[in-house]
């Protein structure tokens, strides 16, 4: 996943405790909600974990980025951001780590384990040296295909002279790859991009940008979608008919976007396997909604999450400032239900995943100490929520210290536990010793 933060100065007015759930009622899958272990990785610089996956050997792989050159990053020689890939065993112990990048700013966002046991990574990069062979200006989408040991098999950069970011990647049924992000359409026009047969000038600032690659990393097609303002795709899943469903946000009210709600909306669209628009929907209120992730549910529908500042239209409740917002939509984009989670402070979700019992895991960050949140250690804390299949919260817990702590991704393991990944800038994050400016943190809750 990946990041647009709205910085708020909040005054905590209450330490009251409303509904909280740190014990699991009617537990059926072995999840106790108890801390199993905490691990951190990094050096004296800034290190972050943006995404986590389970690997075929029962362990985990984490992708993020780092500018450290010491500690766990020994061997890295340049103190600029590089993609950081960590391979861990089932106990969260480091088996190997790799960095990828050049002399400029390169930030890993999403990864998958590929059908051949290797990995595919996506993010955005400014480098045209080191591991990067090309850059067209500022950040480009940068895709790497690795073998099972993390060695580069191929890499490709896609972009123009502006900022072009990639946030999510999946492997397609034909063994190829599909990734999404946003295209700086203003710069693309100046560079002569004309994929829409002369209609490019109808669009504005940023667009949802979708790219389909063959198994060797060569472009099969690219399409963009949006309106005259700022539109960004953060996540994608495959649809059952071979198409793709993308989620992000839109500020636009024209061209590809219809029936908008307010300033920024969740924007979800479906395209077919050839990149043609099938449907698009906006969800939100008159305030700001930012969507960061989408998951396909067990019944063939979709859940989308992020945060909302609204108190009207599609949002039935707001607990104060920004809340986590979770919506469920059917295969045609019709809204089935929506839920908010939060307190009087700033709360936002970065990730949603489906659990074996049909419920959902939400991970993100919280500054609240009331409402749905039971405590806050200071500034933003990791916040993990478990819900049932209808989005009702059955358990929640926050983790953090007195500094800034952000969770970005979480998954359910085969034994029913949850593993959470993010970054901490707290010198007093519980159960670990901080290594630098910020560390990658993994937490397992059994």
* Domain of residue 149, residue span: 35-445
Q: Report, as an integer, the average pLDDT of 266-294.
A: 97
Q: pLDDT tens across 40-59, in order?
A: 999 999 999 999 999 999 99
Q: Establish if 167 belongs to a structural domain.
A: yes
Of 27-31, 110-114, 230-234, the poorest mean pLDDT is in: 27-31
Q: Establish if 1 belongs to a structural domain.
A: no
Q: Report, as an integer, the average pLDDT of 412-440.
A: 97
Q: Establish if 157 belongs to a structural domain.
A: yes
Share of the chain above pLDDT 90, in %: 83
Residue 195 has pLDDT above 90, yes or no: no
Model confidence at 30, pLDDT cuts 50, 70, 90, reads confident
Q: Report, as an integer, the average pLDDT of 167-185.
A: 94
- pLDDT value, residue 136: 86
Q: Establish if 17 belongs to a structural domain.
A: no
Model confidence at 28, pLDDT cuts 50, 70, 90, reads low
Task: Check which CATH number belongs to the domain holding 243 and give it.
Answer: 2.130.10.10
Q: Establish if 57 belongs to a structural domain.
A: yes
- pLDDT value, residue 354: 97
Q: Establish if 105 belongs to a structural domain.
A: yes
Q: pLDDT tens across 102-130, in order?
A: 999 999 999 999 999 999 999 999 999 99
Q: pLDDT tens across 52-88, in order?
A: 999 999 999 999 999 999 999 988 999 999 999 999 9
- pLDDT value, residue 125: 97
The total domain count for the chain is 1
User: Which H, E and C letters describe the chain, residue by residue?
Assistant: CCCCCCCCCCCCCCCCCCCCCCCCCCCCCCCCCCEEEEEEECCCCEEEEEEEEECCCCCEEEEEEECCCCHHHCCCCCCCCEEEEEEECCCCCEEEEEEECCCCCEEEEEEEECCCCCEEEEEEECCCCCCCCCCCCCCEEEEEEECCCCCEEEEEEECCCCCCEEEEEEECCCCCEEEEEEEEHHHHHHCCCCCCCCCHHHCCCEEEEEEEECCCCCEEEEEEECCCCEEEEEEEEECCCCCEEEEEEECCCCCCCCCCCCCEEEEEEEECCCCCEEEEEEECCCCEEEEEEEEECCCCCEEEEEEECCCCCCCCCCCCCCEEEEEEECCCCCEEEEEEECCCCCEEEEEEEECCCCCEEEEEEECCCCCCCCCCCCCCEEEEEEECCCCCEEEEEEECCCCCEEEEEEEECCCCCEEEEEEECCCCCCCCCCCCCEEEEEEEEC
Indicate the average pLDDT of the chain. Answer: 91
Q: Establish if 237 belongs to a structural domain.
A: yes
């Amino acid at each position: 996943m990946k990041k647009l933060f709205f910085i708020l100065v909040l005054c905590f007015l209450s330490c009251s405790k409303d509904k909280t759930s740190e014990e699991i009622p009617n537990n059926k899958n072995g999840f106790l909600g108890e801390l199993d272990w905490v691990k951190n990785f990094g050096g004296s610089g800034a290190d972050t974990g943006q995404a986590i996956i389970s690997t075929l050997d029962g362990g985990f792989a984490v992708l993020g980025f780092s500018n450290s050159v010491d500690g766990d990053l020994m061997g890295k020689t340049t103190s600029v951001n590089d993609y950081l890939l960590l391979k861990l065993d089932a106990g969260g112990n480091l088996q190997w780590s790799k960095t990828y990048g050049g002399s400029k700013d390169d930030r890993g966002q999403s990864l998958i384990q590929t059908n051949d046991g290797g990995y595919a990574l996506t993010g955005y990069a400014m480098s045209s040296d080191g591991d990067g062979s090309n850059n067209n200006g500022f950040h480009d989408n940068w895709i790497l295909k690795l073998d099972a040991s993390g060695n580069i098999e191929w890499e490709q950069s896609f972009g123009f002279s502006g900022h072009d970011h990639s946030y999510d990647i999946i492997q397609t049924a034909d063994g190829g790859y599909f990734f999404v992000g946003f295209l700086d359409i203003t710069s693309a026009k100046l560079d002569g991009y004309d994929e829409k047969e002369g209609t490019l000038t109808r669009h504005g600032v940023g667009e949802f940008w979708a790219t389909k690659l063959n198994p060797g990393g060569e472009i099969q097609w690219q399409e963009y979608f949006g309106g005259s303002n700022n539109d960004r795709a953060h996540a994608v899943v495959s649809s059952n008919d071979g198409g793709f469903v993308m989620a992000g946000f839109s500020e636009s009210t024209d061209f590809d976007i219809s029936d908008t709600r307010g300033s920024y909306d969740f924007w979800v669209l479906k395209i077919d396997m050839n990149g043609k628009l099938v449907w698009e929907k906006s969800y939100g209120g008159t305030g700001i909604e930012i969507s960061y992730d989408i998951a396909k549910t067990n019944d063939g529908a979709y859940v989308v999450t992020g945060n909302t500042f609204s108190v009207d239209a599609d949002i039935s409740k707001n607990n104060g400032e920004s809340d986590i917002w979770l919506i469920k939509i059917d295969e045609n984009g019709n809204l089935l239900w929506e839920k908010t989670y939060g307190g009087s402070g700033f709360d936002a979700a970065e990730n949603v995943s489906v659990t074996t019992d049909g419920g959902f895991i939400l991970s993100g960050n919280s500054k609240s100490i009331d409402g749905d949140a039971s405590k806050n250690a200071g500034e933003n804390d990791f916040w993990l929520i478990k819900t049932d299949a209808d989005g009702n919260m059955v358990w929640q817990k926050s983790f953090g210290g007195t500094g800034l702590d952000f969770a970005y991704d979480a998954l359910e393991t085969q034994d029913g536990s949850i593993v959470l990944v993010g970054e901490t800038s707290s010198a007093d994050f519980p159960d670990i010793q901080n290594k630098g400016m910020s560390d990658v943190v993994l937490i397992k809750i059994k």
